[in-house]
Amino acid sequence: NVTLTDGETFNGDLVVFGTTIIINGTVEGDLIAAGQSVTVNGTVKDDARIAGAALTISKTAIIVGDVVAGSASLETEKGSTVQGDIVVGAGQALLDGKVGDDVMAGTGSLELNGEFGGDVKAEVGDPEEGGPPMTMFFPQSGISFPSVKPGFNVGKDAKIDGNLEYT
């Protein structure tokens, strides 16, 4: 397990691998993290490149650059801020936070509830072929996954400033 504690600052690019990665402090450069679960609660002053089963950008997180993510599940919580783009390949993604620029997603299921300052381009799986819940693939891991409806869903409070393109 790797934790950057609240109030702690890492100067430069942080590269971490572990089962559970929690970033509560500040990373002054890029964050490159891979683990079973990766949670960002703090601030990343550049890009976040993250991979794992469950990825969470929490309600207190600020990513100054882009997020590039590969996962079973990506969640940006309401209150989170990604000032750049989000590029994600995932089984599912729940985007409830604020994204300053574009979103490019290739997912089995995608739910948009947040604010998006640029375009949203999404390649989303067929809801008729909706797969089993993520917990089925990780039954004894203790990882929690958000519930995302099958297919492509735009919530009533979502705001997209750019174009929306999905297939």
- 106 or 137: which carries more pLDDT confidence? 106
Q: Sort 104 into a burial class: Cβ within 10 Å, 0-12 / 13-18 / 19+.
A: middle
Could you give the angle at the alpha carbon of 15 between the alpha carbons of 69 and 26, nearest 5°? Answer: 85
Residue type, 5: T
pTM of the model: 0.91
Residue type, 159: K
pLDDT of residue 140: 55
CA distances (Å), 111 to each of 42, 101, 147, in order? 24, 17, 10
Say how far apart CA 41 and CA 143 lie, in whole Å.
17
- 129 or 34: which carries more pLDDT confidence? 34
pLDDT of residue 99: 98
pLDDT of residue 132: 52
Across 29-41, average pLDDT: 97
pLDDT at 148 over 90: no
SS3 content of the chain, % helix, strand, coil (to 5): 5, 55, 40
Say how far apart CA 22 and CA 8 lie, in whole Å.
12
Say how far apart CA 78 and CA 28 lie, in whole Å.
23
pLDDT of residue 137: 55
pLDDT digits (tens, 9 = 90+) for 44-64: 999 999 999 999 999 999 999
Q: Which of 106, 102, 79 is nearest to 93 (CA)?
A: 106
